[in-house]
A = this chain, B = another copy of it.
C-alpha cells in the first residue's frame, strides 16, 4: 500500500472516530506498528492530527492539555480558526435566517455571533446548546443522531430542512480541492450540507488554509457553489470565490 493511501486511511479513521490506537490501525490495515507509528509522527508534523501515547487523536477534539496556558502552545491553528470564525460571524445581519452546520469549525463561529435579531437553525447538538446558552433564537433539525459526529442526519433531518429557506448558510469542510470541490469523510453529513446549501441564498464554507489541496471521500459541493472564508490563499485559482482574512497576529 502506498504511503499516501495509508495517510488517507489513518486520517479518515481519526476524523470520523476522533481517536485511534496504533495497535488497531496496524491490525486493520495489516501493516506493521512501526510503519503506523512513523506515519503518525509524520502526520503530526504536518499538523493533520495529534499524536498521543498509544495512538492519535484529531486536532479538533484534542484537549489542549498541559501546554494550555504555556506560550509554547501551537496557537496557529487556533488563531486561524478564530479569525475565520470572527469574519464569518461579522457577515450576519439583523433578521437573517441562518443555517449553521455541525462541526468544530462552525462551533467557533458561535462565540463571535453578533447580538442582532437573527434566527439560527442547526443540526449540531452542541451548537444548538451553545446558541441557546448565548441567548439566540434556535431551531434544531429533528431526526436520528449520528453517534460519532453528534449531529442530526438522515432522512428526517433532510425532510426538516425542506421547511426552511435560509438567507445565509455556514458550512465546515474537511478538504477543499479545485477538481473535487468541498469534501468530507461522512456521507450523511455531506448530504445535510448539500441540502442546506441548496436552500440558502448565500453559502459560505469555512476552511483554514491547511484544508486546501486535500480531498476527503465524499463531495458535498462544487467549488463554485460557495464563498470560501479562509485565512490565506495558496492557489490563486480559488480567488474569485474567496474571502481571505488578513491574519492579524494576536
Contact = CB atoms under 8 A, between A and B. Distances in A.
Contact of A47 (B3, B11, B46, B68): B68
Contact of A139 (B52, B53, B143): B143
Interface stretch (A57-65, A169-177, A190-198, A230-238): A57-65
A2 B49 CA distance: 15
A66 B2 CA distance: 16
A140 B126 CA distance: 13
A145 B156 contact: no
Number of identical monomers bound together in the oligomeric complex: 2
A129 interface: yes
Given A7-B63, A63-B11, A132 B145 contact: yes
Contacts of A54: 2-3
B145 A138 contact: yes
Interface in A165-216: none
Given A11-B63, A19-B2, A125-B125, A142 B145 contact: no
Given A3-B52, A4-B63, A19-B4, A138 B144 contact: yes
Interface in A1-25: 2-5, 7-8, 11, 18-19, 21
24 contacts: A2-B21, A4-B52, A4-B57, A4-B61, A4-B63, A5-B18, A8-B63, A46-B63, A46-B66, A46-B68, A125-B125, A125-B128, A129-B129, A129-B150, A132-B150, A139-B142, A139-B144, A139-B145, A139-B156, A140-B145, A140-B152, A142-B156, A142-B157, A142-B160
10 A-B pairs with the lowest CB-CB distances in the bound complex, closest first: A142-B142, A138-B145, A142-B160, A4-B57, A125-B129, A132-B145, A2-B54, A141-B142, A2-B19, A5-B19
Given A4-B63, A46-B68, 13 more contacts: A2-B53, A2-B55, A2-B57, A3-B54, A4-B62, A46-B65, A47-B68, A125-B140, A132-B147, A138-B145, A139-B145, A140-B152, A142-B160
